[in-house]
Structure 1
Amino acid sequence: MEKQTTNFRVCLPVRKRVAIALWKLATNSEYRSIGHLFGVSKSSVCRCVQDFCKAEIIHFPDWQNLKDMADYFENRWGLPHCVGAIDGSHIPIIAPQEYHTDYFNKKGWHSIILQGVVDGKGLFWSVNVGKPGSLHDARVLRLSTFWDWVGQGVLYPVCTKNIGEVNVGYYVLGDSAYPLQNWLLKPFPDNGRLTPEQQTYNKKTSRAWVVVENAIRRLKGRWRCLMKRNDSDIALVKSMVVTCCALHNLCERHGEDFHQDWNTSAEESGRVITQDSEEECSEIRQALMRHLNI
């Protein structure tokens, strides 16, 4: 963020550049208004935001991090070997010049999708941003770097744990919009004929899955640039979203207060509920169900 002063131009102090970028992310004010507030030009505001949002500062966890996350999930919710929860949310954008219909979502406005994975504390450890708002959550997942990362065998079948005589690898929790995988567990579809054991499984896993829904709500509550359309292009919006997720982690780790009046229901999570009554339940989900009913 720091720039060198030259004979032709005095550069803004790095603290002021950071403050300008944070103001944009937190308020979603127009560049011109922020320029008047800080006494700089509109173009200077834009450059500060672009420079601040350049760094990629969210990375996939290593083996020790995965173990720590699994231990926390089990101690907090009684779910063995779980390392996270996944969900998607729509980020409003101005209609792009090309392929604008692809970005028109089912709610009636243009958006890109944020699909995030959080740990048991609500901290993002995987963020995929930028897929068009018309796509279903399952499709976004299959096109994400997270899907590719899991495909390398990082979560399953390595580091398995025996649960009810079934080897269970690390897994994440999703809602019914996602495909059932050995490393992604979802609720049993509520067809009106769920067994008591299935109802218990749904209740306990859904209670833990809510951690990602709460994380996205707190994320948007703090950083208003994610709630309303701003005057940035899609490429910058993507960078802004990732940066806000990293700032969310920073705020949560340092115990920053979150005021409930920041919450808003204007843009709820973008998940789609599907019924998959034809789907066969996996051995892993069955094993976890039996474990939760002991």
Structure 2
Amino acid sequence: MNMVETEAAVCLLVLVFALWKAGQRIHDEELEAQRRLRRKLMLAAQRKRAVRRRGSRLQREHKRQQYMQMMHHYYFDIMQTSKVWAYPRTSDWWEITAQRFTDDQWLEDFRVSRETFKSICTTVKPALERRDTAFRLCIPLEKRVAIALYKLASTSEYRTVGNLFAVSQTSVCRCVHEFCKAVITLLRPKLIQTPNQAKLAEMADYFEERFGIPQCVGAIGGSHIPILKPPQYQSDLHNRKGWHSIILQAVVDGKGMFWDLNIGQSGREHNVGDLRNSRLWAWATTSNAFSGRVRNICGTNVGYFILGDSAYPLQNWLLKPYPDTGRLTEGQEQYNIRTSRARCVVVRAFGKLKGRWKCLSKRNDCSVNVVVDMVETCCTLHNLCELHMERFVPEWGDGEDTVRPPCNIDNERSDVRSALQQLFMQQQ
């Protein structure tokens, strides 16, 4: 191969390589153009989808606003003015008339002063306070407490109270039940509790200073609470006086405040002195709390005790009168007189309880379980009123009906009773 042919071959190779390089560049440019086109199409699709999503979101928001406006118009403009949704009532009595009451008028209707009323509202607020809803406004806390107190302090029906406070009968019933639960949960543990040794010593000193009976920490008694004839077991709750009732059995200190309650015993039971299943019996017999401070009286070591009538069993911590057989000695008669005078504290306490809270003095149309809660609530409120020294109007009392079964003649003896008999004779 000569030089010419060699040069021609080299030129051919260079030309082929140049053509291949040009074709490769053209191919790359076409691929780049395709990529740019695909990217533009993808960005355009993304923008289109974003616009579509934004339009859907705005459309949904617009529909939601229309729906809320429709619901607001329906519930607040139509339903609240409809007789089917809420019966039109006026609450002028509570919002205007009651707020202008004098102190005596307020006490007459609610049995507590305004200061005590505010204290009760503050205490039961965690259990009774409610919030407004989108459907209607809730009953304010003060109004709920006022409804419950008015019902407990009167013999009015739910219908009458509801018309007075511009609420339904169901709302009155609910307010009363919830108020009783709140008082039992929040107030009762503070106002009615088993006394410790320091409290027993304080009660004994006060009782001795007032009645001249040493080591006495209270008196026990019972009272009938009238109820509606129950649907079942009517004969068990039918008392000897001809109507249905349950029995409230309570221990009262010298100031007339309850410190032990036993509620719900059948009214048929004439003898209310059966304490063996009560909390008081278990506390007195197992803890030996009544023997905390012992005093020597006429040669006999005497611990704390309470006074009861002839229906109760004679114990060293529970004294009863001598049965009147017509052959009592002078000392026994003196003992009966002095202890009977002291036991009047429980009668007066029951009188104030039923005088303040009239729902206990007349027949209660609620179920037995609800009546038990109402009795416990009224006892707690009684202690609160006595603690705050609330005024009691004598006209409120209507002859307290305490449980007084006939005296049973027995031959029981008690060294404590004999020692007190000797002490009273010496004091004469």
Interval of TM-score (by shorter of Structure 1 and Structure 2): over 0.9
* Pairing partner for 2:179 from 40, 43, 52: 52
Greater fraction helix = 2
1:280 aligns with 2:412: yes
* Pairing partner for 2:342 from 180, 199, 208: 208
Q: Following the alignment from structure 1 to structure 2, what is the Cα–Cα distance between the partners of residues 44 and 199?
A: 55
Q: Following the alignment from structure 1 to structure 2, what is the Cα–Cα distance between the partners of residues 137 and 218?
A: 24
Residue in 2 aligned with 1:184?
Answer: 318
Cα RMSD over matched residues? Answer: 1.5
1:218 aligns with 2:345: no
Residue in 2 aligned with 1:151?
Answer: 285
| Residues 222 and 272 in structure 2, CA contact (< 8 A), matched pair in contact too | no
* Pairing partner for 2:421 from 275, 289, 293: 289
Q: Following the alignment from structure 1 to structure 2, what is the Cα–Cα distance between the partners of residues 160 and 97?
A: 50
Shift of 1:198: 0.9
| Residues 118 and 125 in structure 1, CA contact (< 8 A), matched pair in contact too | yes
Q: Deviations over 1:12-61 (max 9, x none)?
A: 11110000000010002111111110011111111111111113302211
| Residues 273 and 313 in structure 2, CA contact (< 8 A), matched pair in contact too | no
Q: Which range is displaced more, 108-117 or 165-174?
A: 165-174
- Structure 1 unaligned segments of length 5 or more: list them: none
Q: Which range is displaced more, 101-110 or 282-291?
A: 282-291
Tell me which of the two structures has the higher relative contact order, counting C-alpha pairs closer than 8 angstroms and 6 or more residues apart.
1
Residue in 2 aligned with 1:64?
Answer: 198
Residue in 2 aligned with 1:116?
Answer: 250
- TM-score (ref. length: structure 1): 0.95
- Structure 2 unaligned segments of length 5 or more: list them: 1-127
Shift of 1:289: 1.1
Residue in 1 aligned with 2:98?
Answer: none
For 1:52, the aligned partner's letter is F
Secondary structure of the 1:106 match is coil
- TM-score (ref. length: structure 2): 0.66
Shift of 1:141: 2.7
| Residues 24 and 225 in structure 1, CA contact (< 8 A), matched pair in contact too | yes
Residue in 2 aligned with 1:25?
Answer: 152
| Residues 155 and 171 in structure 1, CA contact (< 8 A), matched pair in contact too | no
| Residues 138 and 179 in structure 1, CA contact (< 8 A), matched pair in contact too | no
**Paired residues, what number?**
292
Q: 1:38 to 1:97 in 2, by over 3 A?
A: same
Secondary structure of the 1:128 match is strand
Identical counterparts, % of pairs: 54
Q: Deviations over 1:171-210 (max 9, x none)?
A: 1001111111111101111111111111111111111111
Shift of 1:165: 2.1
* Pairing partner for 2:233 from 66, 85, 99: 99
Runs of 4+ off more than 6 Å: none
Q: Following the alignment from structure 2 to structure 1, what is the Cα–Cα distance between the partners of residues 130 and 279?
A: 33
Shift of 1:140: 4.5
Larger Rg, first or second structure (1 or 2): 2
For 1:61, the aligned partner's letter is P
